[in-house]
Structure formats: C-alpha cells, structure tokens
Structure 1
Amino acid sequence: MAKTKWNLDVTHSGVDFSVKHMMFATVKGGFQSFNAEIEADPTDLTTADIAFSVDLASVDTRNEDRDNHLRSADFFDVENNPTMTFKSNTIEKTDENEYNVTGDLTLHGVTKQETFAVTFEGTGIDPWGNEKAGFGAEGKIKRSDYGLTWNAPLEAGGVLVGDQIKISLQIQAAKEA
C-alpha cells in the first residue's frame, strides 16, 4: 500500500488520560475536540507523517468543577495555551503492527520529545465503500516536565494529584479519496 492521506474520523476516535488521585485512586478523563493529520502507508508506519492537536478546553472528567480547574492557570491555562500538539519525528517498527512513534509534544508552552507505543489495528471497508484504518496509541508523560506543578499536600503524606499521566488514543481514519 502506498503512503496516502488519512482523515481522522472523530466520531470513532478518542483521546483519554488517567492520573493518580490521593496516591491510591485513578481518575480518568478525555478530550472531546481533537484533530490529526496523517500521511501514511498503514501497513508500514515507519515513513508516516503524523501531527495531532487537542483542544484543551474540551477536557471532560465527568466533573464540571474539576474540568474548570483543569482549564484554569493552575493546570492547562487554556486562555494562554489552548492546544496540546504532537508532531512525529521518528517511527521505529518494534514488532508486527507495533511501532514506537517519537516526536515533539507541546503542552503549556513547553515542547519535549515523547514516545508513544502505536499499534496498527487493521483496515476495512465501511458500508458506504470508504476505506478505514484503525490505530491505538499508549504513552506516559510527567506533567511537571511541562510546568504543570499545581498540587495539594495530603494530611497522611503524599499529594493530591500524581505526576505521571497515562495517555491513550483510539484512532479511526478514512483514506482520502
């Protein structure tokens, strides 16, 4: 298959995250608004060009007060830093349909190199004749690396919000006609 452009199918895709809360529980959330630019041969991602952006104001943790706090200057500061972006630099095949995608992640005005484990899930034709491809991606970042350091100490020791953020993407894309 040749390298071609793939358009993100946002209704069949998701960007989710999880973080430790109070040192022992996990809080999950996601983003409702995001976009991707993908140019690839899905059967060999080593030559792909991948760019991803997330509208940070679209954060959804199923708790309005927490979402508003995440949008504030304590965390994302969406007024000054409305998006998180990722642009791939190198892609290494690690196994059949498995890749390490390394690139520049920009969050809160800071850009750092991060690596995500990406799985090519396959392709198929939908009922309307469109070719679709599926991908999954997993990664971890330290929020403190991006200046996201707000926290609250706990009476028993430790802190309210963990530093490590797990990120998970489920992507369905349509081959551009």
Structure 2
Amino acid sequence: MAKTYQIDPAHSSITFTVKHMMISKVKGEFKEFDIKANGEPSDLANASVKVTIQAASIDTNNTDRDNHLRSGDFFNAEEHPHLVFHSTSFRSKGGGEFELTGDLTIRGTTREETFEVEYEGSAKDPWGNTKHAFSGEGSLNREDYGLTWNQALEAGGVLVDKKVKFEFELQFTESEA
C-alpha cells in the first residue's frame, strides 16, 4: 500500500557550505522547509519528493551576511520566497544508496540536479509512529541560478566561490496514503 511521509522538522536539517575568499568555508542552513514524500517503502524507485525551502530562513550565524543573502544580490527572497525541488527519478545504486534527480528552482530558474541519498533505516518511536531516516549530499553552481554577485580579491580569486555543497539529514513519519 502506498505511504505518505511527513518531514519531522525537529529531527531534520538542510545545510550548505561555500568557500569564502578561496581559503576558508562558511557554513549555513535553511531553518524553515517542508518536504512531502510518497511511495512504497519496499520500492523507492517509485517514490516522489517535493521540497519547499523558505529562502528567508537562511542562517549563517551572521545577521549582516544573512540579510545580504536574502537581498537581490543573491536569493531575492522578497520576490522569490521559495527554493523548490521536485523529484523526477529515484535510482537505486544498491546497499541503501540512491541517486535522487529532479528539477530545482531558485530565483525563477529551474535546472535538473542530482543528489546522493542514503537510506539510514526505519524504527518505531515510543508512540508507535514509524520513522524513516535519510542523509544526502550534492553540489551546484550558484551562478546557474542567477546568484552571481561576487567581488574580486586583490591577491586573485573571488570573495564567494560559485560551488555550493549541500548536506541533509531527514527524518520522516510514515502514514497511510
């Protein structure tokens, strides 16, 4: 029987890392997101996933930087409040590892992206709810989505790298479809 899966935000995170000044890394996360998933637990190849991230929920532990990231130089969160991912395929690589491919939309630009996903397992919580956990990672070129602001450095290179690495730890609660 088909199942639906609701994200457990208290036990889930979507984080990112980007190089700063070509020598160090800045980490951040999106604090507000929703994920809808459905499919057969025994056959994830038929699963579908929709991720909606609130652009304004970006948090790098620096208020000035976060406000700049929300501005028109980057996410333009006022005009483009959401980052959205719609899955198109969920391909098993064996051993609980998968390639999740789909259409990612940022700032009105949609491109196909693929993320590596690992099924971490399932368990019943103390209240009888079935939980499923996944971790994953991937990277993208932020300039492909119109996030092109940058500043040249006197010694060469740029202030913000164009490659952004994502990691996620997700826990879902299962329910009947």
TM range, smaller chain: over 0.9
Provide the rounded CA distance (Å) in 2 between the counterparts of 1:166 and 1:78. 20
Identity %: 45
- The superposition leaves residues 106-163 of structure 1 with CA deviations (integer Å, 9 ceiling, x where unpaired) of 0011000000001111000001111000011211000010011000110100000000
Q: How does 1:17-32 map to 2 (within 5 A)?
A: 17-32=16-31
- Aligned counterpart, 1:41: 40
- The superposition leaves residues 32-70 of structure 1 with CA deviations (integer Å, 9 ceiling, x where unpaired) of 100001002344311101110100100000000000000
Corresponding residue SS for 1:176:
strand
- Aligned counterpart, 2:82: 83
The one-letter amino acid paired with 1:108 is R
8 Å Cα contact 1:43/1:97 also seen in 2: no
- Aligned counterpart, 2:67: 68
- The superposition leaves residues 75-110 of structure 1 with CA deviations (integer Å, 9 ceiling, x where unpaired) of 000011110000000111112110101100000110
Q: How many residues align?
A: 176
8 Å Cα contact 1:100/1:117 also seen in 2: yes
Provide the rounded CA distance (Å) in 1 between the counterparts of 2:87 and 2:4. 15
Deviation of residue 24 (structure 1)?
1.2
Change over 3 Å in CA distance of 1:68–1:170 after alignment to 2:
same
Q: Could you tell which deviates more after superposition, 130-139 or 42-51? A: 42-51
**RMSD, aligned α-carbons:** 0.9
Corresponding residue SS for 1:151:
coil
- Superposition TM-score, scaled by structure 1 size: 0.97
- Aligned counterpart, 2:159: 160
The one-letter amino acid paired with 1:5 is T
- Superposition TM-score, scaled by structure 2 size: 0.97
The one-letter amino acid paired with 1:22 is M
The one-letter amino acid paired with 1:132 is K
- Aligned counterpart, 1:175: 174
- Aligned counterpart, 2:142: 143
Gaps of 5+ in 1: none
Pair 1:97-2:96 in alignment:
yes
Provide the rounded CA distance (Å) in 1 between the counterparts of 2:41 and 2:105. 25
Corresponding residue SS for 1:144:
helix
- Aligned counterpart, 1:58: 57
Provide the rounded CA distance (Å) in 1 between the counterparts of 2:43 and 2:166. 23
Deviation of residue 3 (structure 1)?
3.2
Provide the rounded CA distance (Å) in 1 between the counterparts of 2:136 and 2:44. 13
Provide the rounded CA distance (Å) in 2 between the counterparts of 1:42 and 1:11. 22
8 Å Cα contact 1:83/1:107 also seen in 2: yes
Corresponding residue SS for 2:143:
helix
